Amino acid sequence: ASADPISIDTAVYDVLQKDQKLHTQPHNATNHKIINHNDYKFDSVAANFLFHCLHGGDDATELAVSNISKHLVHPTRGVFFGSTILGHELEEKQQRQQQEKQSEPSETESDGHALLVAAAWETHDLYNQWGIFGNRNDSYQGLERALKRHFQHVEIWKVGYCAVWKARLPNTETEQS
């Protein structure tokens, strides 16, 4: 079996290109027809644990959501759903913990929870240094704003330091501007 001809880097590049038409090679190597995704709209589009890998903070998320709503989600029956790690919230938590350690130890969190937060912070920090993540400035408010700008029906909630969402009905008025 051969690898998919589209790499993640290419897919991310395509999604971030404003008003870029998204193209992909079919999996069948004998069929050389290029599929123009602007001719197709999908009933279900997922972005699970993807946006925190984009570099550029809330601006990159806004652009990705805009392009997904314009080019991929069916206008009447499509659903865009996903999840992402909110780096901004982790950064704020780390800063608060540093300040608390300088004043006096906090007894509001259990030792187990504090260890989990420390492990999450270390992973987040290391992955951002390596360039795997680009989410230091990704915020819940920025994601919510992007989704509500580009979709008429949005449900979004936080689970720990992650955001989870589903959005329906691309906002065609916003998409034309």
The gap from C-alpha 133 to its chain's centroid, in whole angstroms, comes to 11
Q: Quote the pLDDT of residue 112.
A: 75
Per-residue pLDDT of the chain (177 residues; tens, 9 = 90+): 444 545 555 555 555 554 444 444 444 444 444 455 556 789 999 999 999 999 998 999 999 999 999 989 999 999 999 999 988 877 777 777 666 766 665 555 567 777 777 787 888 889 999 999 999 999 999 999 999 999 999 999 999 889 999 999 999 775 444
Residue of 68, 82, 65, 13 lying closest to 38 (CA atoms): 68
Q: Quote the pLDDT of residue 24.
A: 43
Q: How many CA atoms lie less than 13 Å away from 66 in the CB half-sphere?
A: 20
Contact (CB, 8 A) for 151 and 103: no
Give me Rg for the CA atoms of the chain: 19
Q: Quote the pLDDT of residue 143.
A: 97
136 CB neighbour count, 10 Å cutoff: 15
Q: Quote the pLDDT of residue 77.
A: 93
| pTM: predicted TM-score of the whole model, two decimal places | 0.70
Q: Residue 134 and residue 146: Cα distance in Å, rounded?
A: 17
Q: Quote the pLDDT of residue 103.
A: 65
